[in-house]
Structures are given as structure tokens and as C-alpha cells.
Structure 1
Amino acid sequence: MGKPTDRELVEQARAGNAQAFGTLVQRYQRRIFRLAFHLVRTGAEAEDVTQETFVRAYQALDRFDGRSEPFTWLYRIAVNLSLNTIRARKPKRDAVPADDPRIEPLLAEHRSSHGSDPARIAQERQLTKALCEGIDKLSDTLRTTLVLVCIDGMGHEEAARVLDCPEGTVAWRVHEARRKLREHLEKQGFGGDAA
């Protein structure tokens, strides 16, 4: 017998099988955390959002109507909780710290192909920091859409379901976010190929 589908796990969880819901948590915990982390920008808050996402989903199992995939439903909960967390903050951070934990994973993807040239690594670190600053300056709507599509790799159709908006709106938001990021990077001295 193969692995149960997400929908089967939801049905089993509705019937009282807590282990089935645990399997859903295991399947999506990392992705939900990664999404929350890119939106709220701190590990502790991302952990809180991740945990609360699954608590709320478990409490709302009876209200899940099956019109979307369970994964999409979980993502929608995580996006809403992340945005609530951002809005609840009193001061808004303006600068990306040098030790921003988002920077290392982005750099790690490129290091294997560029070797260990210290000058190149320093330049990529500066570019990545500028990119994180640009992402942070985007509106919540543009940043959320960009994270879903460009960082998490979600297709426009699926992102539209998560964000509850038309697919064309997702495409426009991604285009607009990228345009604003290019402008930001050019102002920071990263033109041409970097943008």
C-alpha cells in the first residue's frame, strides 16, 4: 500500500486519527517554516507561526471543505498568520543585519559553482544582503507573492489559490516585485546581470 494522500490524511484525522495529522505536519513543517521565515524574518517568530499554523489547522479540520488541496489550505493559514505577525510589530526594521540568517542559505546555493574565491564570496554576500533589504522594503502583498513564487517555487495557479486572488494578479505582483528589486539593486550599485 502506498503513502496516503493529503486528502486521505485529513479524512483520517477528522475521524480521530491523530497520527494521520502528525504525518501531514511532518510532510509540510519545513516548507511552512521556510515560508514563514522569509515573511517574518526571524527564526523564533517563524517557529511560532509554523506551530500556530498546525494548531489552527487541527482545530479547523471539520471546516476544511476540500475545495483546495490541504497543502494550499495550510499555506493560506501560514501566510495569514505571518502577515498578522508583521502587522503586530511596533517598530519596523529598516536594515538587514550582517548576520541575517536568510543570507547563508542563498549563498550556499552559489558557492559550489563559484569555488572559494574570497573576493567573489564577499561580493555575493553584499549582493545577497542588498537583495534581502530590497525584499524587506516590498509591501506585504508583493513580498508574500514573491516568496511563494520565486523562493518557494510555487506556480502562479497554486499561489493564486493560496492568496485567494486571480492568477493574473499573481503574475503582475511577481513582475512588480522584481521591477522594484531591480531598482533597489541598481540604487545599491548592483546593475546589469546582478539585477
Structure 2
Amino acid sequence: MMMTKPTPSDRDLIELAKAGDTNAFGELVRRHQPRIHRLAVHMLRDRSEAEDVAQETFIRAYQALGRFDGRSEAYTWFYRITINLSLNRIRSRKTSRASQDTDDPRLDGLMTDRRPTSGDPAGSASRKQLYQTLCAGIDELSDTLRTTLILVCIDGRSHEDVAAILGAPEGTIAWRVHEARRKLKGFLDARGFDPEGDGT
């Protein structure tokens, strides 16, 4: 009777990749690329830049395979690279920042994450306005608060995971999320939005 081979863990795939198995690294990319790309979209607010960063993340990771010591999870390592590349891009373009595009790719995710409102175009339009304002508020946060908020509230990572990704204590992560939410609430309040009373 043939036994089915167990699915290799990320760590197994990294060890195989270190030994020269390019298919193993390709499997790691397939596993993690969607979330890495989504993270980059939320960090950069630009789809094509996010694609570049996601691609560069895996190129950098592949080039640095020998330095991966296995003390952290593979996804933690990929996330760190993505965040660093994204922040570098944001800083380099701050001097020549284009006006905010109304076609913000982050809205797609926010709108589809909510229940459908096909029968309520007015509600859908007001929700879109709220999300656009919310995205603008997220942009006003410091890099540190924005990155932490994206990882916890948008990507759905636990405080423990985010602490490992960002190299900060869990208590600090909890404080950053609280502070980011407080600032966002103030930003929305000042513009006449009441997220608690929105009904979404």
C-alpha cells in the first residue's frame, strides 16, 4: 500500500532549497506570494509597486538563503523583507509624492471584505467614502503605527506573530494598535464620520 507523502513544512522546503532544490523554493513562493503581495499593496497603495516589491522580496530571500538560521518562521522572514523594501520605497518617494489616486487599490480589499450591498447603492457610496477617508487616515500615521496596524487589523496576524515580525515586545504591539486606532478615530471624527455608528 502506497503511503502519501506528508506536505513538507516551510522549514523543510528551506532546507531543500539550501541544498539546491529550486522547486522547493518555488513552492515557498507559491505558498506565501498572495499574502506578501497583499501586504505590499496595503503598505504602498500602488499595485505595480506592490508587485515589484513582492517579486524583490523573494529574490532577496533566495539570495540570502544561506543566512536563514531557522530561528524564526519563513513567513516572518518574508514579511520583514517586504516591510523593509516597502518602507524604503515610501521614504524615497516622499520628496516627489504624487497626488493621492482616488483609485486606491486598498479599497478593493476593504469593500469586498464587507457584506455585499448591491441593493443599497447609497449605502455602498457612503461606505466607499468612509473607506477612502480611513485610508487617508492610515496614511497620516507614522511608519511604525501604520505597519503594525496593517499587520494586525488588515492582515489578521496575532500580536505574537507581529512581535516576531517587527522584533518588538507583544505589549508594544498592543500599545501601537491602540494608539493607531485612537488616532484614526480622531481623524474620522474630525471629518464627520462615526465608524461605530456606520453599521458596517
Q: What's the TM-score bracket when you normalise by the shorter of the two chains?
A: over 0.9
1:84 aligned onto 2:67:
no
Whether the aligned pair in 2 keeps the contact of 1:96 and 1:129 (CA below 8 Å) is no
Mapping of residues 143-162 of structure 1, within 5 Å: 143-162=146-165
The TM-score with structure 2 as length reference comes to 0.92
TM-aligned CA deviation for residue 97 of structure 1: 2.9
Runs (4+) of structure 1 exceeding 6 A deviation are none
The corresponding residue for 1:174 is 177
1:112-159 Cα deviation digits (max 9, x unpaired): 2x4421110111011010101001111111110000000000000110
Contact 1:10 1:21 in 2 (8 A): yes
d(CA) in 2 for partners of 1:104, 1:116: 18
| Residues in 2 aligned to 1:143 and 1:116: alpha-carbon distance in whole angstroms | 33
Pairing 1:59–2:63 present:
yes
CA displacement 1:88-129 (0-9 Å, x = unmatched): 112235x643221211221122242x4421110111011010
How many percent of aligned residue pairs carry the same amino acid? 58
Counterparts of 1:44-193 in structure 2, within 5 Å, are 44-89=48-93, 90-92=95-97, 96-112=100-116, 114-191=117-194, 192-193=196-197
> CA offsets, 1:65-99, max 9 Å, x none?
11100111111111111111111112235x64322
Cα gap change, 1:60 to 1:78, in 2 (>3 Å): same
Q: How many residues were matched structurally?
A: 193
TM-score, normalised to structure 1, is 0.94
Query: Residue by residue, what CA displacement relative to the aligned partner does 1:26-70 show, whole Å, maximum 9, x if unpaired?
Result: 000010011111001111111111111100100111100111001
Give the conservation status (yes or no) of the 8 Å contact 2:145–2:180: yes
